[in-house]
Amino acid sequence: MEEVREILFTIGNIEFTVGSVIILGLVTLAAIILYRVIKRTLFTKLLSPKGIEPTEFTSFYHYLKILVLLIWGFAAVHILNLNHSFFVTEDVNVNVALILGGLFILNAARIIDWFITHYLVHNYYTSQDQESGRQTAMTTEAKMSQRVKYIIYIFALFLILRNFDLDLTLFHTEYGGSSFDFKLSNILLAVMVLMFARVIVDLLTQLIMVGVYQTRSIEVGAQIALNQIIKYIIFVIAAIIALNYLGFNMTLIWGGAAALLVGLGLGLQQTFNDVFSGILLLFERTVTVGDILKLEDGIIGTVQRIGLRTTLVETRANVSMIVPNSKLVTNHVENLTHHNNKIKYLVDVGVAYGSDTTVVKSILLRAVKNNPYVMEFPAPFVRFTNFGGSSLDFELHFFSRNILVIEDIKSDIRFRIDELFRENGIEIPFPQQVVWHKNDM
């Protein structure tokens, strides 16, 4: 052991022993091996197949080299007892190890920033452009990369403050029997929470919700409205968390927010009902754009747009109706084209007693045979429904896809029935009533 402690040479006040030189040599060798393994094996094999150009690795390898040198320097300081103090107070001791540790965290943040922006963010938006065949994601990629950069470096600064005793207390407060020390790290945490909320909003609206919108064919207006709701919810939660980190009394804030929400709930109860009904419509897909609805008051119209609060319905008279979404959810509404637009209709007709019912049936089928708006399959059919007070009652059933102009189709069929009845001597009787008069004389 004496040989290990033997001094080989000195530089200034620094003594180089056999043991320190050996350990320092091993650390140097380990640093070189670490750098080469990461550079030539691990990251090259991991990142190269992912579409990252070799020229883009230059900055990464530069950051990696500095990181390995900082690790070597940190080890050398402790091996050779070079942890010199530059500035000492009651709370802070600025020494060599502190500076190297701070530089290590900042350089690690640079590597993480490079990895996320090049490997994750860039690859995702590049694939998006390739799928769409357009260069539309470049601006969005730059914004996302910038926000990720802010979060990483703010977090790195937070680690430096917390781990190197640099987190100074700006002021001290007491309230409600509890105390709070407002430090520099509290500001960083609040800012980081808000930035992280911005990234979450982007991830939800640009990654997750896009797939939902495409799957359910939700129109652009509804997409924007839903994105805004997601944005407001996430930012409200983030703001509350940030205020908590800044030392605000959350009991008072929650109490005020509860009172405000009660007031808003009472004043905007119907609006909230319509909004949540709109969300149900967009995700349940019971009503979609293009569907033909029969509303509770008998009005038939086509859905032109589904908004977050109201739905635009165009009636058969080309009148635009703005229908609150709650009526489409809670009221009785018939979706005439929910599964398909093939609907059965009927035309009532009565003939005089004594008419040949076989001939009547044949005539009614002929009346719709050549009508271009009547479907051949399922085939039309006639139903003998009743022996009426003054007529034999029939129903002519047929299928058609022309829902909005069905009354005009029925009118044409009635014209044709009247024409054929006249040609074949079939009478449509007037209502008759027999009156018996008893003569007591």
**Per-residue pLDDT tens digits for 30-54:** 777 777 777 666 566 655 545 566 6
Supply the pLDDT for residue 10. Answer: 61
Supply the pLDDT for residue 432. Answer: 64
| C-alpha separations of 193 from 108, 169, 208, 257, 335 in Å | 21, 20, 21, 20, 46
Among candidate residues 421, 430, 347, the one with its CA nearest the CA of residue 391: 430
Given pLDDT bands bounded at 50, 70 and 90, which one contains residue 396?
Answer: very high
Supply the pLDDT for residue 100. Answer: 82
Q: What value does the mean pLDDT take over residues 355-360?
A: 93
Residues paired with residue 85 on neighbouring β-strands, in sequence order: 95
Supply the pLDDT for residue 284. Answer: 74
256-275 per-position pLDDT tens digit: 666 666 666 665 677 778 87
Q: Report the share of the chain in percent with pLDDT over 70.
A: 73
Residue with the bigger pLDDT between 376 and 252: it is: 376
Given pLDDT bands bounded at 50, 70 and 90, which one contains residue 286?
Answer: confident
- For residues 334 and 352, give the distance between their C-alpha atoms in angstroms, rounded to a whole number: 37
- For residues 11 and 24, give the distance between their C-alpha atoms in angstroms, rounded to a whole number: 15
What letter would DSSP give residue 38? I
User: Taking 80 as the threshold, does the pLDDT of residue 149 lie above it?
Assistant: yes
Q: What value does the mean pLDDT take over residues 297-325?
A: 86
Count other Cβ atoms within 10 Å, centred on residue 409: 20
| C-alpha separations of 85 from 13, 93, 161 in Å | 15, 7, 18
305: exposed, middle or buried (Cβ count in 10 Å: 0-12, 13-18, 19+): middle
Given pLDDT bands bounded at 50, 70 and 90, which one contains residue 429?
Answer: confident
Given pLDDT bands bounded at 50, 70 and 90, which one contains residue 393?
Answer: very high
Highest-confidence segment of 91-95, 115-119, 238-242: 238-242
User: Taking 80 as the threshold, does the pLDDT of residue 371 lie above it?
Assistant: yes
